[in-house]
Amino acid sequence: MQISIKGLNLIKKFEGLQLNAYKCPAGIWTIGYGHTHQVKKGDALSEAMATEYLVKDIRHAQSAAKQYVLVALTQWQFDALVSLIFNIGVGHFKSSTLLKMLNQNNFASASGQFARWNKAKVGGKLVPLKGLTRRRNAEADLFENQQITGNVQAVAAPKVASKLTSKTNFVSLLGACGIMTTQLDAAKKLVDQAGKISAKGGDLADQIGGITSSITWPVAMVLVTVALFVFIIFERNKKVDIYGL
């Protein structure tokens, strides 16, 4: 027996799809539908490749269901178990009360055991998670009724909000653009001013004229462009601090 399209789609919905590599909360580089093997920063893939990886990744879960479950299963019961095993791991499944009940032909009690696997470590403590609770409910519904009820939502990958705060990087950029060393003091002053304007909520265009008037016109144009970029970065960083976006 192999997982059906319905079972595969259930796993997809809860794993969530990310086409670019990201670090999961545990600090592991992840891509696609929870794929972690040999993933590194900067990796990207297509949706078709993500599905291919998922099919390969769930082989161990399918093998475990076939090896350790000693009673006959329907397709939807098998699908639900594969989703569970893929999420909690073969080791936990092997020692679970769910498996014990199942092998005693007590399907009703086994179904009730899905709900127990809704916890994960947060700050070193096991706590119930809403996403895992929804997933366990969906798996139990599939196991019992061949239906997936409730609002099945993907567990989204964390958003990575990067911050750029070093004015040294921007001054180095000016040097790379060919700005003379004698004019870097003005550049530094402009970068500082852009940050102060952002912090105060002021208008950039109204307040940089006095600085650029002391340098040559071509250099001033470059500096104004860089200052605008710095201003945008500072604004972005404020949103990261306040909203986490």
In the annotation, is 235 catalytic?
no
Task: Give the Cα separation of 121 and 127 in Å (integer).
Answer: 6
The candidate with the shortest Cα–Cα distance to 22, out of 112, 128, 155, 134, is 155
φ, ψ for residue 118, nearest 5 deg: -115, 20
Contact between residue 194 and residue 208 where contact means Cβ atoms under 8 Å apart: yes
Of the candidates 15, 52, 139, 235, the residue annotated as catalytic is 15
**What are the structure tokens assigned to 83, written together?**
């989703």
In the annotation, is 177 catalytic?
no
Residue 20 β-bridge partners: 44
The candidate with the shortest Cα–Cα distance to 16, out of 39, 37, 33, is 33
Residues classed as catalytic: 15, 24
